[in-house]
Amino acid sequence: MIAPANIRPNPSQPRQRFDEGSLQELAQSLREHGLIQPIIVRPTEVPAVFELVAGERRWRAAQLAELAEIPAVVDDALTDELLFERALVENIQREDLNPLEEGTAFASLMELRQLRYEDVARLLGKSVGYVQNRVRCTQVAQDLQQLVLDRPDALSHIYYLDKVADPLLRAQLIAAVKANKLSLADLRSHVQDLVVAQALAQTRDEALPRAQPAAVQFSGIPLASPVLARAMKQTDATFKRWRAEATLLAHEDRQALLQYLSELIPEMEVIITSLGASTEMRSEA
């Protein structure tokens, strides 16, 4: 029997989050029945102080229950490497880890034992895709990791969200996923449309002359025609609305809008060329 106060946690513990409600329930059970299954510890360099090997959840609950002593098995043959591996395997085999914690444990196990995805999958009885998806989760940006923490069932979404470079657009898509307004199929279609649109834009930009016109603020342009001013303001407002609402459109509407804008490009180029030629002729006159 060892006092919980004389046990310190494993600093290499892969598990980062413990559900407070679940710990309180376990603590109440320990107050009534005591701790039946011993935890596993190993000695430290400090006399009478031990390091936790397995059973951190039970140890934390025992502290909440204010138990004076708890049963423990002392294993003095564990090296640091074996301790880390044992903690990894114990946590990986738990059912209530979130995908980010699983991915961190998988990645650590792969590094520790120089394993491939296939090796980890075979060792744990998981599919290769299961292991890859969770390791990928540890490699994406913080906003995508937070999405997985908030909605573990959205793990597959991050593969497509990670392709969206624009932070504002990605934030809008993440919000839609969190609100359950964007299914995986809709997100996949949207990102595929976005990739096509980006490819079209890149092709168009490469075909245009390299000379860049001087940037002019819309509000600073002197306009002689009130009709033209109103038309320009309406067009500007329309494009702003499309930019704000594009991510929330249905797939069919996004396809239609994408086709419409693509067809506008050559028309706009003709107008730009015509205006440019007209301006040059007036300058020469």
Q: Of these residues, 51, 56, 90, 102, which one is catalytic?
A: 56
Of 31, 38, 27, nearest to 61 by C-alpha is 27
Structural contact between residues 186 and 253, judged by C-beta atoms closer than 8 angstroms: no
Q: What angle do CA 133, 138, 140 make, to 5 degrees?
A: 90
Under 8 Å CB-to-CB from 101, ≥6 apart: which residues? 14, 15, 16, 17, 91
25 among known catalytic residues: no
**Alpha-carbon gap, residue 209 to 272, rounded angstroms:** 12
- Full 3-state SS string of 79-135: CHHHHHHHHHHHHHCCCCCCHHHHHHHHHHHHHHHCCCHHHHHHHHCCCHHHHHHHH
- Cβ neighbours around 160 below 10 Å, total: 19
Tokens standing for 119?
A: 């090796």
Question: Would you please indicate which residues are annotated as catalytic (active-site) residues?
Answer: 56
